[in-house]
Chain A
Amino acid sequence: MQAQASRTAAASDDAASRPAVIEARGLSLTFPADDGPVHALSDVDLTIRKGDFVSFIGPSGCGKTTFLRVIADLEQPTAGEVRVNGMTPREARLARAYGYVFQAAGLYPWRTIAANVRLPLEIMGYPREEQEERVRRTLELVNLTGFERKFPWQLSGGMQQRASIARALAFDADILLMDEPFGALDEIVRDHLNEQLLKLWAKTDKTIGFVTHSIPEAVYLSTRIVVMSPRPGRIIDVIESTLPRERPLDIRETPEFLEIAHRVREGLKAGHSYED
Chain B
Amino acid sequence: MRRAAGDAGPVLCVLMAILVLWYAAAAALNLQWERDQAERAGRAPSLTQMLSAAMSQDRPVLPAPHQVAVEIWKTTVDKKITSKRSLVYHSWVTLSATLLGFAMGTLLGVLLAVGIVHSRALDLSLMPWIIASQTIPILAIAPMIIVVLNAVGISGLLPKALISTYLSFFPVAVGMVKGLRSPDAMQMDQMRTWSATTAQTFWKLRLPSSMPYLFASLKVAVAASLVGAIVGELPTGAVAGLGARLLAGSYYGQTIQIWSALVTASILAAALVAIVGAMHRRVLRRMGAAA
A binds B: yes
Which residues does chain B contribute within 8 Å of A102, judged by CB atoms? 186, 189-190
Number of A-B contacts (CB under 8 A): 50
Beyond A94-B195, A106-B187, A151-B288, 9 extra complex contacts between A and B, CB < 8 Å:
A69-B189, A93-B195, A99-B193, A100-B193, A102-B189, A110-B288, A112-B288, A123-B196, A123-B200
Contact across chains for B190 and A100 when beta carbons are under 8 A apart: yes
Contact across chains for B195 and A104 when beta carbons are under 8 A apart: no
How many positions in chain A have a CB within 8 Å of any CB in the partner chain?
Answer: 26
Known: A102-B186, A106-B186, A106-B187. A72 touches B193 (CB 8 A): yes
Which residues does chain B contribute within 8 Å of A110, judged by CB atoms? 208, 211, 287-288
Contact across chains for B208 and A108 when beta carbons are under 8 A apart: yes
Known: A102-B186, A106-B187. A111 touches B193 (CB 8 A): no
Contact with B along A11-32 (1 / 0, CB 8 A): 0000000000000000000000
Contact with B along A110-127 (1 / 0, CB 8 A): 111000000110111000
Contact with B along A177-218 (1 / 0, CB 8 A): 000000000000000000000000000000000000000000
Provide the bound-state CA to CA distance between A122 and B195, in Å.
12
Which residues does chain A contribute within 8 Å of B211, judged by CB atoms? 110
A sample of 19 inter-chain contacts (CB < 8 A) reads A69-B189, A73-B192, A93-B193, A102-B190, A104-B186, A106-B186, A108-B205, A109-B289, A110-B211, A110-B288, A111-B288, A119-B194, A119-B204, A120-B194, A122-B204, A123-B196, A124-B194, A124-B195, A151-B288
Contact with A along B266-291 (1 / 0, CB 8 A): 00000000000000000000011110
**Most central of A100, A108, A120 by chain B CB within 10 Å:** A108
Interface size class, chain B: 10 to 19
**Is A98 at the interface (CB under 8 A from chain B)?**
yes
Provide the bound-state CA to CA distance between A199 and B205, in Å.
32
Provide the bound-state CA to CA distance between A74 and B187, in Å.
12
Show the binding face of B for A, using Cβ within 8 Å.
186-187, 189-196, 200, 204-205, 208, 211, 287-290
Provide the bound-state CA to CA distance between A102 and B200, in Å.
20
Contact across chains for B288 and A109 when beta carbons are under 8 A apart: yes
Provide the bound-state CA to CA distance between A226 and B17, in Å.
70
Which residues does chain B contribute within 8 Å of A104, judged by CB atoms? 186
Provide the bound-state CA to CA distance between A195 and B193, in Å.
26
Separation in Å of the A122 CB from the closest CB of chain B?
Answer: 7
Which residues does chain A contribute within 8 Å of B196, judged by CB atoms? 123
**Is A263 at the interface (CB under 8 A from chain B)?**
no
